[in-house]
Amino acid sequence: MNILITGAASTLAKEIIASLGEGHSLRLMDEAAVEPPENGEACQGSLLDQDHVWRAVRGMDAILYTGEPPPNLPEEAHARDQQLLDLATRGTHQLFKAGVEAGIKKFVYGGTLDIFRSYTDEVYISELWKPLPDPDMPEMSRYLGEQTAREFARDFLVTVTGLRLGKLVYEEDVVGQTPDLLWLDYRDAAQAFNLALARDASDQAWWTARWNMVHICADIPNPKYLIKQAHGMGYQPAHNFGANWKQDGVLN
């Protein structure tokens, strides 16, 4: 499969690339320069550059939109928020529109579980719960981008999978820290993107079948974010922060 991966300079993208293995041809896209993979190429440019986006999608079979911002965001808060908003909305729209016009049938959008953070920790949140995003732009922009991605499943015969990701860390880097209900190991997030590529509902008449939203985080005791639907697509996280929960007295 020919796969375009955005945010390719990010740690998440690097883990996705490693998880895909052989058998795919990859095109890596980021505003920063990235090393071309052995099984593909790199294309440096912005999601806000319509001509560049069109060149990036040509010849691809699938798009993995990681949701990870470029490393060169402005330092000034207002300018940074403006760029995050622009990338998540206009950038997502340009990328998906160009993908549809190029005949791509599979799209995966990386969102965030942060949009449920305002709920108390005593609830069990599934994909049916109403998001309550804060106005902080890193969170709000990802939610608005998710809504943009969903509309393409509504309007076109394409498969769009939204992955609401937890807080990305490496399990070994947080040993000894107080456990977080949002934690998600980068490698397990990459597994979810890989699994989402197998979904194909482009020929379904109802747009609700073409669109699928899945919560992705660690499999922990007494979770706030339920991942039963993710299990249904084969997701089995290998990094569940057992040492942290044992330290916190939850596990014996």
Range 189-212 average pLDDT: 96
- Assigned domain for 173 exists: no
- Assigned domain for 103 exists: yes
- Assigned domain for 124 exists: yes
Question: DSSP label at 173?
Answer: G
pLDDT-wise least confident of 21-30, 148-157, 166-175:
21-30
- The widest CA-to-CA distance across the chain, in whole angstroms, is 57
- Assigned domain for 112 exists: yes
pLDDT above 80: residue 201: yes
pTM, entire model: 0.95
Token pair listed for 250: 């939850």
- H or E element in which residue 43 lies: strand 40-44
C-beta atoms surrounding 136 within 10 Å: 12
Token pair listed for 131: 């998001």
Kindly report, residue by residue over 169-198, the tens digit of the pLDDT: 999 999 999 999 999 999 999 999 999 999
Write out the residue range of the structural domain in which residue 36 sits: 2-165+186-215
Token pair listed for 148: 């943009």
pLDDT given for residue 21 in this prediction: 77
CATH code, domain carrying 79: 3.40.50.720
Token pair listed for 216: 């992705």
Residue of 201, 101, 102, 95 lying closest to 148 (CA atoms): 95
* φ, ψ (nearest 5 deg) of residue 50: -60, -40
Kindly report, residue by residue over 35-58, the tens digit of the pLDDT: 998 899 999 999 999 999 999 999
pLDDT above 90: residue 246: no
- Assigned domain for 76 exists: yes
Token pair listed for 95: 């990328």
Q: How many domains does the chain have?
A: 1
pLDDT given for residue 251 in this prediction: 54
Using DSSP, state whether 81 is helix, strand or coil: helix
- Assigned domain for 150 exists: yes
DSSP string, the chain: -EEEEESTTSHHHHHHHHHH-SS-EEEEEESS--PPPTTEEEEE--TT-HHHHHHHHTT-SEEEE--PPPTT--SSHHHHHHHHHHIIIIIHHHHHHHHHHTT--EEEEEEEGGGGTTS-TTS-B-TTSPP---S-HHHHHHHHHHHHHHHHHHHSS-EEEEEEE-EEE-GGGSTTSPP-TTEEEHHHHHHHHHHHTT---TT-SSHHHHEEEEEE----SS-SB--HHHHHTT---S---HHHHHHTTS--
- Assigned domain for 87 exists: yes
- Assigned domain for 48 exists: yes
